[in-house]
Amino acid sequence: MTQSIAPVPPPAPPAAEAKPTPGRRSGPAAPKPPSAWSGLWRTIRRVAPWILIPTFAWWLFFSAGARDMFTLLGLLWESIHPVSRTIIGVTIGTAFQLAFAISFAILQFVAIFWFMSQTRVDVIRPEDPKSVTFKDYWGQPNLVALVRQWIGLLADRRDFVKMGGKYINGILLYGPPGTGKTMLAKAMAGEAGIPFISIEGSGFRGMFWGVDVLRMVQFVGRAKKLAREYGACICYIDEIDAVGQSRGGVMGGRGGMGMGMGGMMGGGSGALTRLLYEMDGIEQPSLGDKLKGRWYRFIGKEVPKKTWHVLFMGSTNRPEVLDAALLRPGRFDAKIQVDPPDRAGRREIVRGYLSRIKHKDVDIEAIVEDTPNATPAQIASAIGKDSVRIALSKGRDHVTQNDVDRAIDEQRYGLEQPIEEWDPVQRVQVAYHEAGHAVAQHYAMPDQRIVRVTIVRRGAALGFMHPVDRTEVHAMPMRRIVADVIVAMAGHVAVKLHMGEYWTGAYSDNEMIRSQIRHLYLLGYFGPPIGSWESGMPLWAERFWRVMEEQTENLLRDHMAETESIAKALLERNTLTNPEVLALLSDNGWRAERIDNVPTAFPELLPRLAGAPGLPSPAMLASSRPTTLVQLPPDPVPAVAAHAEVIAVRSEDTGRPARMLPPPRPQDFAQRQLQYQADAQPEAKGAPDPKATS
């Protein structure tokens, strides 16, 4: 018996490459749009009830068949005995009244809950003009590359389903406010060509118990409906911490106050529980899917696999308060941190928003440098709103660099509120204060650029000096914090030098100095940070403050003429820009081509210690016999002699300018502390006992 072999058909010719359709987005294949028949069916479902109900009412009251039917019913009613008719009528009337009362109560209850369950839900379909793509999302190229793999699966899930893959249920975006978390979710939906439905987390809260659950059911139901229509949908909850906050007493949670009175007023965990249920059951077939599957099995066909999916997304700036059950794998599988853009990202954002407005002679690099750590929302508001408003108020039809600078200052410090009748002496005091900050900033921190110095009141500040980093700072030496302390002290000290006494106005500067000294302590600048600040500032911190204030005064005494020049210029012009300030200051040693421009511009404390580090030893400040570095005693004690010996070793000529000398290193502090302890022990042994003497 032979087996016949079917001839092998010739290979099919290769399919011609489909030409891209004009107007279609590039990238992953978009899902098949709904057909014209589905749109016609949706229209029929919406219009049919409004046609059928009036038609039935017209037939009931105006047709001959309806009149004959009512006549027949009347004859049957007349044939019944009068007593029976009375009993039947009373019974039917009572039943009707009872049914009406129950129906009205139910209808009223349903209507009230339906009305309370309505909340603002934003829906963006792929064909809507509000739809955005990654072309509209600037400044985060690495983030875009990270989410593109999920975008491809949302756009075309056929191969993924054939391989048996299980799609992720949720993506959590977290980061500071204004970093573009919502914009990223919208761009993901627009790039994939799928609908985007969003709601605020606080929108689930209601006055009565159960309203939050009802709103969650309606919201997820609308998302599923859109997913069946388009193949996929992004279900986005903004500020998800309002609904997903950790529940008290839950294993793995982070504590909480429990339900309490909030549960009676709709503030419990019902919405969170329902959200967890919906995320777990998103792959489970609905009642309609089950009936459809039974029909396919009844007619002997294979049940089609589910081809639609709902991707849950949430955003928060407080991920630590979210419930542990919400963050486990299978719910929010992926967690993406959205940080403020770096320098390159800000450049792209500034260029993008400038392309949407009329502008002239705007320096993009200056804006990028003046906005360190700025979020996309802040940049968009400064360029697209405030700068245009300022330009229109000046009578121009385009935005200039000055308009953008003023918009950035308004965001950071508030609106200008000049004092019309300002006492001249008080105005001079503010001018000296800000001039002292500017001089100390220029020489103590050359790696920062002074953007603006002003004595125009903004909010609670009578004036300010605005510095920015010349380069992005992600890590820095601790001496930079010490230099920042000097800059903060300079305003208060300059007023004393030029006006003869201290004035008010340095409260915020002193708060910042206390914070920076504590920061230095926690970083180990003064040795192992094993103490506590609960009982107030330690004694050695007060001594360190005094020495820093003394050093700041020495710096300002060396540059009194420059401080005077800046103060006079402020009194004449109120505001000085970077070129105007630099014209009144000398060279601080900073060079753009150098890579070691660190903030090490500290003045000399003594001519005899020329070339020695300008910062004091914290071990010396903490010793039992503190001394001043300005006037050393003629016959120093062993501790001071050891300190002078250490300084002499580090006083060798390094070839650097005197104002660019580095402060002591932390390891020097430990060596000096050991020397102090060794010198203090013999003195303690040789000292007579005061009790024995008495």
Classify the C-alpha dihedral 180-186-189-193 as positive or negative. Answer: negative
For the question of residue 472 being annotated catalytic, the response is: no
Report DSSP letters for 505-563, one per residue: --HHHHHHHHHHHHHHHHTTTTS---S--TTSS-HHHHHHHHHHHHHHHHHHHHTHHHH
Query: Under a CB-based contact definition with an 8 Å cutoff, are residues 194 and 234 in contact?
Result: yes
Ranges assigned E (strand) in 328-473? 332-337, 448-454, 464-469
**DSSP per-residue codes, 241-301:** HHHHBPPTT-TT------SHHHHHTT-SSHHHHHHHHHHHTTTS--HHHHHHHHHHHHTT-
Pairing of strands 196-200, 232-238: parallel
**How many angstroms separate the CA atoms of 187 and 236, rounded?**
12
The CA distance from 54 to 56, in Å, is 5
Q: Buried b vs exposed e over 150-185: b needs ≥16 C-beta within 10 Å?
A: bbbbbbbbeebeeeeeebbbbbbbbbeebbbbbbbb
Q: Quote the CA–CA distance of 343 and 46 in Å, as a whole number.
A: 52
Q: How far apart are CA 393 and CA 530, in angstroms?
A: 57
Of the candidates 121, 310, 309, the one whose C-alpha atom is nearest the C-alpha of residue 197 is 121
Name which of 346, 669, 638 is nearest 523 in CA terms: 669
Using DSSP's 3-state secondary structure scheme, residue 402 falls into helix
Residue among 262, 244, 265 at smallest CA distance from 253: 244
Establish how many alpha carbons lie within 13 A of residue 424's alpha carbon, considering only the half-sphere containing its beta carbon: 2
- 125 forms bridges with which residues in the sheet? none
Of 434, 550, 562, 564, the catalytic one is: 434
Query: Three-state SS for 238?
Result: strand
Residue 689 three-state SS: coil
Measuring CA to CA, which residue among 676, 624, 625 is closest to residue 646? 676
Catalytic residues: 434
